[in-house]
Structure 1
């Protein structure tokens, strides 16, 4: 069984300041080939969600195959969506 592809997309920003890494709403990253381009703080938060989705788990209150999370930078608070790409 192969692991599904994972896409991470910046969908919103709640903080007062822009991203320190330069990420903008609409930016997308392929987890397997482009994860090094994603802010390390955001990647740190994303990884457990990716692991859950990739191995068949579901997150309460989220659509199947997706997870929404925020980066931990209180000045920026970027909101990302993780989704399985079929």
Structure 2
């Protein structure tokens, strides 16, 4: 069985006026497999479909890079922007 690729999630930008309730800041990076306890559960819940697609060989429709995609935090007051990268 092939080894699953590493998945890295980085906070790359912010659009909302609020602050992250979980304390995430631009530049934070997380390994999906080892840092789950450090990541906001709402962020992980939103990221999971993208992670699942990338981890198992797919690509995100409309994306310009088959190994990366972006998504936003579901908190409308915060709107953190994250990037998922398949390594």
Shorter-chain TM range is: over 0.9
Cα distance in 1 for partners of 2:69, 2:37 equals 20
Q: Which residue of 2 aligns with 1:83?
A: 85
Tell me by how many angstroms 1:18 deviates. 1.1
So what's the TM-score if we normalise by structure 1? 0.95
**Considering only aligned residues, what root-mean-square deviation do their CA atoms show, in Å?**
0.7
Q: How many residues align?
A: 85
User: Are 2:40 and 1:39 aligned?
Assistant: yes
Structure 1 alignment gaps of length 5 or more: none
Give TM-score scaled by structure 2 length.
0.94
Instruction: Tell me how far 1:61 sits from its aligned partner.
Output: 2.1
Aligned match of 1:57: 58
Distance 1:45 1:22 in 2: 17
Flag as ranges the 4+ runs of structure 1 deviating above 6 A.
none
Q: Which sections of structure 2, spanning at least 5 residues, go unmatched? A: none
For 1:65 and 1:54, locate their aligned partners in 2 and report how far apart those are by CA, in whole Å.
Answer: 9
